Structure 1
Amino acid sequence: MSAPRFPFSAVVGQDDLQLALLLNAVHPRIGGVLVRGEKGTAKSTVVRALASLLPALDVVDGCRFGCDPREPDPDCPDAPHGQTATQRPAQLVELPVGATEDRLIGSLDLERALTEGVKAFQPGLLAGAHRGVLYVDEANLLHDHLVDLLLDAAAMGRAHIERDGVSVSHAASFLLVGTMNPEEGELRPQLLDRFGLTVQVAASREVETRTEVVRRRLAFEADPAGFAAQYADADAELAKRIVAARERVESVVLPASEVRRISALCASFDVDGMRADLVLARTAIAHAAWRGAEAVTEEDVEAGARLALPHRRRRDPFDEPGMAEDQLQQAMQDAAEQAESESGPDNDPDPDNDPDDDPDGGPDGGPGGGQPHDEPTDGPSGGAAQPDSDEEPSGGSGQSDKAPAAPAPSFQARLLEVPGVGEGAPGRRSRARSRTGKTTRASTADGHGMHLTATLAAAAPHQVARGRSGPGLVLRSEDVRKAVREGREGNLVLFAVDASGSMAAKERMSAVSGAVMSLLRDAYQRRDKVGVITFRGDAAELTLPPTSSVDVAAARLRRMRTGGRTPLADGLLRARKVVQTERTRDPQRRALVVLLTDGKATVPAQTGQTGTKRSQQAVDDALRAAGTLAGVGAASVVVDCESGPVKLGLAPRVAAALGGPCLRLEELSAEHVAGVVRAASGDSGLAA
């Protein structure tokens, strides 16, 4: 017997999360719940406690795919089914972050294939989650390849497997529940939109609430069974309410006035597509059924809007998530006025009757769509307002602060790729050997998982000599071939930004800021870790230690001050130190340093040195520092920000010392070049 779970009704201070889960239990077609929150906020505890409230399922006896005996799946791999049925509890299947494709969707049953010589399918987690709950902890860290498979199954309600000579399709309708900590990176917008509802959870700041949380948790740890027994009646009552609400939900009326209110709300928040309207309608219906009402009212729509709209308002990865209370109330008021002013027949009171269950009526709400993030402010040309010089009129320390320039409109960035083939964390930037992805060849030495065809081919010629009789194969260890798969990895993208006085001209710094924001958005899409180094005045500063949360990087860059000298050598040396430190923490993650500078290095004035000698020393120091950075094996791209009628051409010299390409600022745009380019390719001398 399994250990008791923390009771659902014993959770304190997470009312919105509990309501979102209960509404999905009442009306599974809402589309699941995404739980966002900091660590230690009982996200996983609440989700796991939900399973005990769900009603038991009638399943076909012996069916590994949980078919409903009233409507068995005609394409089920275990068909034809018998007439007997049995009951089992609703399943809560957990998908770990490190799961493989085989574990998620299933694969060929190797044991039966090798011993009996038959093709048999071994179900995966999607089969186990059918008619139950699929729980994805740390959903934002899930491999992109698995995310794609989840999206397909969630959208179609079926899983399709075409691999290892097996072609299988089975029902996979499940309640998708995910948890994530935003500090560890954001979720892909395509997956974010698939979650019907989202809840932002945080630890309460009320002393009484926190005290009660601690008291209950300690009591549970001291006596799990006894603590669960105290809340058994409350949980049983919730389970009965779920069953009753499920029976009532089909008869709940959605008046035409509330349909108009829902549409007006979604339009006022400028959400993409029509999925938000349908999710909000279903949530309002479930809320009405949960409270025992016969028809949807404004109360139900408002409750649904709090859960269904916040994550769909986030039009850019750097926008703050959530919804302010005054915004919701104003939108509700505007929607009420519009609903009262309009009238018309109720042509479709039940949105579930819509034959299209996967609407995508608008453009993708994800990043990279060319939407400007911050428009540059009006004003005179920066070239006229700011001299293109690092030197201060007073000859001071070189730390002349200027307010940060508003970033220019963002654009779709071209691909900056680390050369060679790595083995880093899953992502979408550089080529990498991985546990998933496309199988490129078979090998006896390296690889992940068995290459079945190559293994069988290696063993087949020796069957007579090995005395094989009957079905199956006689295998030896020397027959086993591993599958070498190639996919994409995420990298450490380290931005080294020149914030000196020579870069501080308003139009130039605005263009540089816009380029960095575009590159950050690209890093978000490609699942990279990012870090930011700025250098100006007398030294370089690690403005942002490497993190997966690129919106934090964007916030730091918006506050970046400019002015002073150009300690380019210090910036490169700091980049080298960060790369080495991160390599110790994560040896498999390869680094890409993106240096944005005009190359005009300077050093503090020294006695007996002329300006020309100091300039030459600064350049020599920068080139030596570039050589040391190249020596640690970091790929580099230099973005030349020099402008004006007279160009010194120092940035290309730095790029040559780094062993990487040098691009003009305008060449960072994907529209500037035809197709996908490898900006860091070439004979850079980096190991694969």
Structure 2
Amino acid sequence: MPVHYPFSAVLGCQADSADGLDDMGLALVLTTISPEIGGVLVRGEKGTAKSTAVRGLAAVLPSISVYAGDRFSIDPADGSAESPDGPFGAAAAVESRPVRLVELPVGASEDRVVGSIHLESALSRGTVEFEPGLLARAHRGLLYVDEVNLLHDHLVDLLLDAAAMGRVSVERDGVSVSHAARFVLIGTMNPEEGELRPQLLDRFGLTVEVAAPRDPSLRAEVVRRRMAFDLDAAAFAERFGPGERALTARIAEARELVGKVRLTEAGLLKIAEVCAAFEVDGLRADIVTARTAVAHAAWAGRSEVTRADIRRAALLALPHRRRRNPFDAPGLDEDLLDRILGDDELPPEPPEGGPDDGSDDGSGDDSVGLDTPPPSGSDGSTDGEDSSDGSASGDDGSDGGEPLSVEPASEASAEPDGNSETNTDAPADDQPPNEPQAPSGVAPESVTSAAQAYRPRLLTVTGLGTGRTGGRSKAIGSSGRRIGATEGGRGGLHLVETLKAAAGKQAARGRTTGRVELRTEDLRTAIREGREANLVLFCVDASGSMAARKRMAQVKAAVLSLLLDAYRRRDKVGMVTFRGEGAEVALPPTGSVDLAAARLDEIPAGGRTPLAEGLLEAARVLQREQLRDPDLRPLLVVVTDGRANSRTHGKAAVKRSQQAAAYVAGLGVTTVVIDSESGPMRLGLARELAGHLGAEHVPVAEVSAEALTSAVHGYTTVGKGAA
């Protein structure tokens, strides 16, 4: 059996003291104490021990009892539990086994997740048998999804619904099965690869942010431990054996205690006050915070929830629920939290009968009991240093275990170099009226914020792709409507076509009656047409002419709206900007649309318009990405007014931009030109550029879906530059 890196060897995950766990370690432990919390999402940069900690967690959980041969792992002590493999009598053999860690691959099919018919039994014996999926295997254990943000949305919905309901029902292929599926759902992700949709993010009970430690001594300790583990894994595991066993015992004790922990009426009202103050949507936050506070008290060995328990619970349960739109960073104002909680401990239980509200149920007990399962823990006021293999916890200077926060490294916005020149080709009416003119030869630079985003029209790549599942362009993939079948290939079995292929060969195989004989060459897989994600590369003109008449705010609003659309459709995005005398890659292609939005906001405008350089830089980015992922089809979005000038401006600059456009057109990339030109006098240069690129021409005012709808009613003409 392979030896996993010990959980307690991860920096910040030692539980030999009350404050031995950092945010990640504490969240993982608390959700195993009380699975009703709803699981944990761990967000952080690469190399921060996210996967290492999760895989080590299963080894420290107490063993469970199951019936021998039961594929659904029901609890023999639970008289109401039923297994499709049952019933099991009183004489049935019971065995003890470790808790399973079931890993869900990003590319798993829905059949693999929920289960389906046993294909071999159906084809060879003609019997319909249910083959359990990963959710059945994960019952009473851990279900781990690495890079959960890359998992297809319908699978994420399925997982989270199963985690919330605790059951899976399968009604398909002649099978009708329902079984328990109670597991701790753990997801890890790197925000640079893209975000989860806010509604899915909310379904995770707890979320923590992790980052690598900056302290050289801690980084050195991580490397020292990793090298020792790689040199002799067994000896390393034995070294941390006592810590692992102590953690297991503490989790077991907390599980015994959690059902006895009292959450007083005052504590419950304080939780409600905190959630209301932070304006979280719905009541899931209140429920999760209450369950987490109870689990934290049990972990600390207390029989009653304290102010410290509520504080720790709020820091884990609320930050990710404060997002108002896809580009809002998760976070929590701890000063506000402390003001709401106050300095005083929670008051004792009120006298029997509770507050004088005119009602009395005669119970005389205002405490709230919450049942949950248990890990081991901290004392509620602190959380240790750092998470292993490179992950670090927050530190407020008092061992307080502040939640980690990952600040995406943003490139510095371009600074004025003093050599930018005015756009001499820009018409005079592009200079904002009543504003001072710039000195001759120098164009002022400014950073303009985007106007309000809106719902944009759908831009798609022409043709039929084969890229990863998304929501933009048509593609052949593993999901979508079935449009045919093929011999061999990857995908789900097309049973009807398989039987049809075999039927015509039965006589040649000496079979005239009885069961159909199937062979490998008869197998047919379904061809499905769905939607794929694309690479959306923005090539944005940031020259002086774009800064005129507040044009840049309108342009940034259009690009921001398209970024929001890319976020929803699971696209990869990149950004090239051109101004002054050259072009630069403002953002290499990435799955983090949040990062793209941040870079967009930083783009300054000013200087000349090196259109050719911008197009050529975009072409280089597209060619590099094509080598990395040939199936990821690109969509190039050029945002410009079409003017082209440089130090050698004039006809030479125009000719060079036309040659660059012809070169990009030769790449065969679907291109859209967003025309930012406005005002009563228009040169129509962006329309000419679209012609050279073989691109669709869209005025910036018609990027919105509402404008496109108006065009159908004759308000404007789609694809025309005139207002």
The change in CA–CA distance for 1:470 and 1:287 in structure 2 (over 3 A counts) is farther
What is the aligned partner in structure 2 of residue 50 from structure 1? 57
The change in CA–CA distance for 1:266 and 1:347 in structure 2 (over 3 A counts) is farther
Instruction: Report if aligned partners of 1:438, 1:485 keep a CA contact under 8 Å in 2.
Output: yes
2:538 equivalent to 1:495:
yes
Instruction: Report if aligned partners of 2:539, 2:618 keep a CA contact under 8 Å in 1.
Output: yes
The change in CA–CA distance for 1:624 and 1:167 in structure 2 (over 3 A counts) is farther
What is the aligned partner in structure 1 of residue 418 from structure 2? none
2:694 equivalent to 1:654:
no
2:298 equivalent to 1:311:
no
Aligned equivalent of 1:513, options 538, 545, 556: 556
Aligned equivalent of 1:133, options 128, 142, 162: 142
Moved more, 149-158 or 269-278: 149-158
Instruction: Give 1:214 shift.
Output: 3.1
The change in CA–CA distance for 1:274 and 1:663 in structure 2 (over 3 A counts) is same
The change in CA–CA distance for 1:232 and 1:538 in structure 2 (over 3 A counts) is closer
* DSSP-derived class of the 2:157 partner: helix
What is the aligned partner in structure 2 of residue 542 from structure 1? 585
Instruction: Give 1:307 shift.
Output: 1.0
Aligned equivalents of 2:41 and 2:603: distance in 1? Answer: 33
Aligned equivalent of 1:120, options 107, 129, 133: 129
* DSSP-derived class of the 1:504 partner: helix
What is the aligned partner in structure 2 of residue 93 from structure 1? 102
The change in CA–CA distance for 1:649 and 1:594 in structure 2 (over 3 A counts) is same
What is the aligned partner in structure 2 of residue 638 from structure 1? 673
Moved more, 279-288 or 51-60: 51-60
**Structure 1: gaps (5+ residues):** 355-382, 607-613, 684-688
What is the aligned partner in structure 1 of residue 300 from structure 2? 291
Aligned equivalents of 1:312 and 1:249: distance in 2? Answer: 25
2:368 equivalent to 1:350:
yes
2:159 equivalent to 1:159:
no
2:629 equivalent to 1:586:
yes
Aligned equivalent of 1:458, options 494, 498, 501: 501
Aligned equivalent of 2:329, options 312, 320, 338: 320
2:270 equivalent to 1:252:
no
The change in CA–CA distance for 1:139 and 1:447 in structure 2 (over 3 A counts) is closer
What is the aligned partner in structure 1 of residue 457 from structure 2? 414
The change in CA–CA distance for 1:160 and 1:400 in structure 2 (over 3 A counts) is farther
**Structure 2: gaps (5+ residues):** 14-21, 358-363, 373-427, 713-717
Letter in 2 for 1:10: A
Instruction: Report if aligned partners of 1:114, 1:472 keep a CA contact under 8 Å in 2.
Output: no
Letter in 1 for 2:226: R
The change in CA–CA distance for 1:602 and 1:218 in structure 2 (over 3 A counts) is closer
The change in CA–CA distance for 1:287 and 1:542 in structure 2 (over 3 A counts) is same
The change in CA–CA distance for 1:278 and 1:456 in structure 2 (over 3 A counts) is same
Instruction: Report if aligned partners of 1:436, 1:487 keep a CA contact under 8 Å in 2.
Output: yes
Instruction: Give 1:312 shift.
Output: 1.5
The change in CA–CA distance for 1:470 and 1:6 in structure 2 (over 3 A counts) is farther
Letter in 2 for 1:386: Q
- Deviations along 1:466-509, one digit per CA (max 9) or x if unpaired, are 23499753123442212112222111101111112221025321
* DSSP-derived class of the 2:678 partner: coil
How much is the aligned-residue C-alpha RMSD, in angstroms?
3.2
Instruction: Give 1:619 shift.
Output: 4.3
Instruction: Give 1:347 shift.
Output: 9.3
* DSSP-derived class of the 1:146 partner: helix
- Deviations along 1:40-66, one digit per CA (max 9) or x if unpaired, are 222222111111222222223322111
Aligned equivalents of 2:580 and 2:156: distance in 1? Answer: 45
Aligned equivalents of 1:67 and 1:404: distance in 2? Answer: 61
* DSSP-derived class of the 1:637 partner: strand
What is the aligned partner in structure 2 of residue 40 from structure 1? 47
* DSSP-derived class of the 1:9 partner: helix
What is the aligned partner in structure 1 of residue 475 from structure 2? 432
- Deviations along 1:552-607, one digit per CA (max 9) or x if unpaired, are 2222221211122222232222222221121111111011011112223334346x
Aligned equivalents of 1:635 and 1:125: distance in 2? Answer: 40
Aligned equivalents of 2:347 and 2:322: distance in 1? Answer: 21
Aligned equivalents of 1:238 and 1:522: distance in 2? Answer: 46
- Aligned pairs for 1:595-674 within 5 A: 595-605=638-648, 614=650, 618-674=653-709
What is the aligned partner in structure 2 of residue 12 from structure 1? 11
Task: Give the structure, 1 or 2, with the largest relative contact order (CA under 8 Å, sep 6 or more).
Answer: 2
Instruction: Give 1:87 shift.
Output: 2.5
- Deviations along 1:64-84, one digit per CA (max 9) or x if unpaired, are 111223447777433444441
Moved more, 131-140 or 537-546: 537-546
Aligned equivalents of 2:288 and 2:194: distance in 1? Answer: 25
Aligned equivalents of 1:184 and 1:348: distance in 2? Answer: 47
What is the aligned partner in structure 2 of residue 481 from structure 1? 524
Instruction: Report if aligned partners of 2:454, 2:704 keep a CA contact under 8 Å in 1.
Output: yes
Instruction: Report if aligned partners of 1:144, 1:426 keep a CA contact under 8 Å in 2.
Output: no
Instruction: Report if aligned partners of 2:447, 2:605 keep a CA contact under 8 Å in 1.
Output: yes
TM-score by length of 2: 0.81
Moved more, 640-649 or 9-18: 9-18
Instruction: Report if aligned partners of 1:32, 1:195 keep a CA contact under 8 Å in 2.
Output: yes
- Aligned pairs for 1:360-375 within 5 A: none
Aligned equivalents of 1:98 and 1:450: distance in 2? Answer: 16
Moved more, 174-183 or 94-103: 94-103
Aligned equivalents of 1:674 and 1:157: distance in 2? Answer: 44
Aligned equivalents of 1:280 and 1:422: distance in 2? Answer: 45
- Aligned pairs for 1:386-397 within 5 A: 386-387=431-432, 396=441
Aligned equivalents of 1:75 and 1:88: distance in 2? Answer: 19
Aligned equivalents of 1:334 and 1:423: distance in 2? Answer: 59
Sequence identity percentage: 54
2:285 equivalent to 1:276:
yes
Aligned equivalent of 1:202, options 202, 211, 214: 211
Letter in 2 for 1:64: R
Moved more, 477-486 or 493-502: 477-486
The change in CA–CA distance for 1:267 and 1:336 in structure 2 (over 3 A counts) is farther
Letter in 1 for 2:49: A
* DSSP-derived class of the 2:185 partner: strand
Instruction: Give 1:403 shift.
Output: 1.6
Aligned equivalents of 2:11 and 2:483: distance in 1? Answer: 51
- Deviations along 1:410-445, one digit per CA (max 9) or x if unpaired, are 122222111221011222211211134443321236
2:439 equivalent to 1:404:
no
Instruction: Give 1:281 shift.
Output: 0.5
The change in CA–CA distance for 1:298 and 1:472 in structure 2 (over 3 A counts) is farther
